[in-house]
Structure 1
Amino acid sequence: MASTAAVPNLAFRQLRGQRSAGEFAAVVRRAAREIGEQVACDARYIGRVESGEIRCPNYAYERVFLHMFPGASLADLGFSARESVRGRGARVVSEPPPVHGRRGDAAAPAPAAASPSGPHAPLLPHDSHPHHDHPFLHRDHLPHRDTETDDIPEESDVLRRVFMTSGTTTVAAASLGLGGAPASAAQVSLPAQRRVGEAEVNAVEKAVRQIRLLDDRHGADGLYRRAAQPLRAAYELLDAGTTARRATSDRLYAGAGELAISVGWLAHDSGRFDDARSHYAEALATARLAGDAGLEAHAFCNTSFLARDAGRPREAVRAAEAGQRAARTLGSPRLLALLALREAGGRAGLGDRTGCDRAIGRARAAFDRGTAAGDPEWMSFFREAELELLEAQCWSALGDWSRAARHGLRATALQDAHFTRNLALYRAQLTGDLARAGRADEAAATGHQVLDLLTRVQSSRIRGMLAGAARVLEPRAGAAPVGAFLTRHQETFRGAESSPSGA
């Protein structure tokens, strides 16, 4: 419903110049890919902006426009201040909500707008060069036909996961539960209050810790679908604003960003790579809005990890390097070590053995400096066992199976038994490395240990790793130990696929 008369955005129309609306939309999509955003800009969207129907763009478009026109503010581009159009209800025409969940999953909580999907460009900083004809235009943004993203729904506001009621923000209580875990052990609540203060910030931080704890015990599948609820509540708190002290406001931004990363990790581990990328981008945007270098380093760390797993090793390297730049002033050698290992993983994916080895060397040197007061709380998982596991994955990617297995054995020997999910992960990695190294009987024995743990851990990623190892072992199915493992593996996965709780 219209709340004010539309005022044409003449400044934005002037920036379009002689391009058609469709040509300019293609330029916007290209600029979005340069910074890792995913927007489905088309001629209709440009028309809505120029007509004044969209008075202020969502956060995704804001980042794209400010990237396209360096040095400009939203006001320079003809937009109204965000504070004057808070919430979609303040726009002249509201954008439609999604009509279904991801992949037809009716249980999946729907975000405020459709999630991005399709091909992605690296989520990395970009050094722009102004066009000589206009102080805000890039040389590279010349008109061209682009259909790669024509069918992709517009990305939702990554910092505005809000519920609007009669034009005002209402912060609903959010609870988190994990299927397969006792309900009493899997509840996280955010208070149903409009005023943002210490209690609300504590609730967000508690939600982050609880999600991480449940993930350590049970894995991501089943947990991810529920975790979006407290995330929305956290960003609703951010959107509501606060009269609290600056320190409390900073904690709220940090907590919401960490919650976005935690939910992104659940998506990542359960094979929802597009969703994970969106959540990590959300966290990075929050970090930059708040000027939080620690949160930025964490977001880049996870982005690098995701890029490696998604088969984009060059992006993995660049994101890890960006994370290292953000982390340099934080006083945490262990964080620098982890980021160096993320870089090593990307270089391994590129087949750069020398670069990988050097990055591992830097990681070990930094790790050996020990813990520090600047170590972030989320790094509690990063112990010697994890270092060995990540190095094993590097050698595995480079095809040095024996060396990978050697580090994998160390990882499994060092891992704390309380981290159930990581026990399964490390052994799944080791199973594959042993199988590829020709040590089939050992691989089968380790594979049985993974299957034992999968009765308690729900992780698509771990199941995928084990399935890969099983395929490698299939030619050795005639050997009794291998045959027994393959039979059990097949039966277990068939049972999981037929169960309502199987992801």
Structure 2
Amino acid sequence: MVSTAAVPNLAFRQLRGQRSAGEFAAVVRRAAREIGEQVACDARYIGRVESGEIRCPNYAYERVFLHMFPGASLADLGFSARESVRGRGARVVSEPPPVPGQPPLTPSPSRPALLHRDTETDDIPEESDVLRRVFMTSGTTTVAAASLGLGGAPASAAQVSLPAQRRVGEAEVNAVEKAVRQIRLLDDRHGADGLYRRAAQPLRAAYELLDAGTTARRATSDRLHAGAGELAISVGWLAHDSGRFDDARSHYAEALATARLAGDAGLEAHAFCNTSFLARDAGRPREAVRAAEAGQRAARTLGSPRLLALLALREAGGRAGLGDRTGCDRAIGRARAAFDRGTAAGDPEWMSFFREAELELLEAQCWSALGDWSRAARHGRRATALQDAHFTRNLALYRAQLTGDLARAGRADEAAATGHQVLDLLTRVQSSRIRGMLAGAARVLEPRAGAGPVASFLTRHQESPPGRHPSPSGGTPARPAFEDGTGEHVPGC
């Protein structure tokens, strides 16, 4: 077979305009909901279309795109004719023949019509049209809708399955909640890089359950919404930590939309918390402040001082990025006062990581952003001393932060020694974010690369396996998601 090089779809790229790929993907998902379609569009899918890798969309995407751009044809959108891609007419999945003596089956809310099946243009691994079809089968049928595995770790230690069936009950909700916990556990132990692509599978399954399933009780429905939203945040974090900022932004926006639809203030506060963190890392400090403030408003009635403390620290990080030392200091003061009120029954489960060590680290990052390296290093030392040894990824993260602060504070030998500790941990942790931090520290130390500890560290760092380092802007520049700090991320705003 002769392969042909992909031709970039410039027409489709022009339609995206100034929006990031993640923002445009959110526009596509919203348009799909308007016409009753379900597509798992994300920034990567948009990139594949624009690169020409996807020459013709599947039928579901075709309906969505033509709805978005009335009067346009697929050719106008830069796509190839379906016949030219496939070389033959589309196949149709037919309804089963009627049973003698019974009326023919017709579409209904409980039994949707079977759609055209285009196996050569449907992007099955990415868009998961398959799961939607699972719900058309018997209500007692259960399938392994998704599994999660970790590259480099035993498969038996990293399997999560989500059952999918027409009626959603305790088993399905428990599976979604289990997937959230499993992803967090694996991230704590191994970091994000080997997890992100696999974790997207249970996320798609969870939203298929949300969209296509029916629940017997309101409490079950609420748990399913919360579980799907938390799963979106967890997968978003894996994207964030592995440098895929546009993907992370899209997942966090999905979680926020789910929270707003369900009226879930806890999920909303969590989505804003992570959005603020991402905005800070992506070089958008003003958005980081606004998102953190919105999160604090959502969290006020939840009875969790620790959650308010974390959100205040997110605000402090944004203010540090703006160079607002006074505002940063005040936010840190509010965070410490709230933290000192202790744990409470209203503390969400996902905040188990937020202990004194994390508070010290986040304060260290604030002072580091403000250029007070010595003060940052003092808090960084406390963070590393307090951190639980079970959180391998955080041990590496805290020490990477400390390495950079020590290097910039002129304590080169101590920085090199700490950097060696990070390299020891990176044999077990896959995190582009941590590797990027360590690479920054190494660049600061290069002028001191004589003999001794610094030279030894730089040599070892240079020889270590490379990782995927997030760019300061996270790839495609993205406009702020929140124009006033209060609104939901509305795609395209």
State the partner residue of 2:473: none
- Would you say the 8 A contact 1:332–1:374 is kept in 2? yes
- Tell me whether 274-283 or 72-81 shows the greater mean CA deviation: 72-81
Q: Cα deviation per residue 1:155-204 (whole Å; 9 max; x = unaligned)?
A: 99999999989999997521100001111111111114332100000000
State the partner residue of 1:502: 492
Q: Cα deviation per residue 1:221-243 (whole Å; 9 max; x = unaligned)?
A: 01001000000110010011313
- Would you say the 8 A contact 2:384–2:395 is kept in 1? yes
Structure-2 change in CA distance of 1:469 and 1:68 (3 Å): same
Question: Displacement of 1:272 after TM fit?
Answer: 0.1
Structure-2 change in CA distance of 1:330 and 1:480 (3 Å): same
Question: Displacement of 1:18 after TM fit?
Answer: 24
Question: Displacement of 1:479 after TM fit?
Answer: 3.5
- Would you say the 8 A contact 1:35–1:124 is kept in 2? no
Moved over 4 A (4+): 1-99, 119-130, 142-172, 495-503
Q: Cα deviation per residue 1:81-111 (whole Å; 9 max; x = unaligned)?
A: 9999999999999999999xxxxxxxxxxxx
Structure-2 change in CA distance of 1:43 and 1:452 (3 Å): closer
Question: Displacement of 1:499 after TM fit?
Answer: 38
Q: Cα deviation per residue 1:107-136 (whole Å; 9 max; x = unaligned)?
A: xxxxxxxxxxxx999999999999xxxxxx
- Would you say the 8 A contact 1:341–1:359 is kept in 2? yes
- Tell me whether 8-17 or 227-236 shows the greater mean CA deviation: 8-17
Question: Displacement of 1:328 after TM fit?
Answer: 0.2
- Would you say the 8 A contact 1:344–1:356 is kept in 2? yes
Q: Secondary structure at the match of 2:89?
A: helix
Structure-2 change in CA distance of 1:325 and 1:182 (3 Å): same
State the distance in 2 between where 1:127 and 1:15 align: 34
2:385 maps to which of 395, 398, 413? 413
Q: Cα deviation per residue 1:358-414 (whole Å; 9 max; x = unaligned)?
A: 000000000000000000000000000000000000000000000000000000000
TM-score in terms of structure 1 length: 0.67
Question: Displacement of 1:351 after TM fit?
Answer: 0.1
Higher relative contact order (CA 8 A, sep 6+): 2
2:123 paired with 1:151: yes
Aligned residues: 470
- Tell me whether 168-177 or 387-396 shows the greater mean CA deviation: 168-177
Structure-2 change in CA distance of 1:321 and 1:451 (3 Å): same
Structure-2 change in CA distance of 1:363 and 1:87 (3 Å): farther
Question: Displacement of 1:11 after TM fit?
Answer: 28
- Would you say the 8 A contact 2:252–2:271 is kept in 1? yes
- Would you say the 8 A contact 2:196–2:235 is kept in 1? yes
Structure-2 change in CA distance of 1:161 and 1:487 (3 Å): farther
- Would you say the 8 A contact 1:89–1:167 is kept in 2? no
- Tell me whether 4-13 or 16-25 shows the greater mean CA deviation: 4-13
- Would you say the 8 A contact 2:306–2:343 is kept in 1? yes
Structure-2 change in CA distance of 1:151 and 1:454 (3 Å): closer
Q: Secondary structure at the match of 2:130?
A: coil
Structure-2 change in CA distance of 1:6 and 1:194 (3 Å): farther
* Percent identity of paired positions between Structure 1 and Structure 2: 96
Question: Displacement of 1:78 after TM fit?
Answer: 28
TM-score in terms of structure 2 length: 0.69
State the distance in 1 between where 2:294 and 2:97 align: 34
- Would you say the 8 A contact 1:441–1:482 is kept in 2? yes
Q: Secondary structure at the match of 1:154?
A: helix
Structure-2 change in CA distance of 1:333 and 1:414 (3 Å): same
- Tell me whether 41-50 or 320-329 shows the greater mean CA deviation: 41-50
Structure-2 change in CA distance of 1:245 and 1:120 (3 Å): closer
- Would you say the 8 A contact 2:299–2:308 is kept in 1? yes
- Tell me whether 364-373 or 192-201 shows the greater mean CA deviation: 192-201
State the distance in 1 between where 2:300 and 2:489 align: 47
- Tell me whether 150-159 or 43-52 shows the greater mean CA deviation: 43-52
Output aligned runs, 1:42-441, within 5 Å: 173-441=145-413
Structure 2: give runs of 5+ residues left out of the alignment.
464-484
Structure-2 change in CA distance of 1:249 and 1:359 (3 Å): same
Structure 1: give runs of 5+ residues left out of the alignment.
100-118, 131-141
Structure-2 change in CA distance of 1:158 and 1:412 (3 Å): farther
State the distance in 2 between where 1:148 and 1:490 align: 44
- Would you say the 8 A contact 1:304–1:316 is kept in 2? yes
State the distance in 1 between where 2:116 and 2:324 align: 34
Structure-2 change in CA distance of 1:396 and 1:251 (3 Å): same
Q: Secondary structure at the match of 2:164?
A: coil
Question: Displacement of 1:70 after TM fit?
Answer: 23
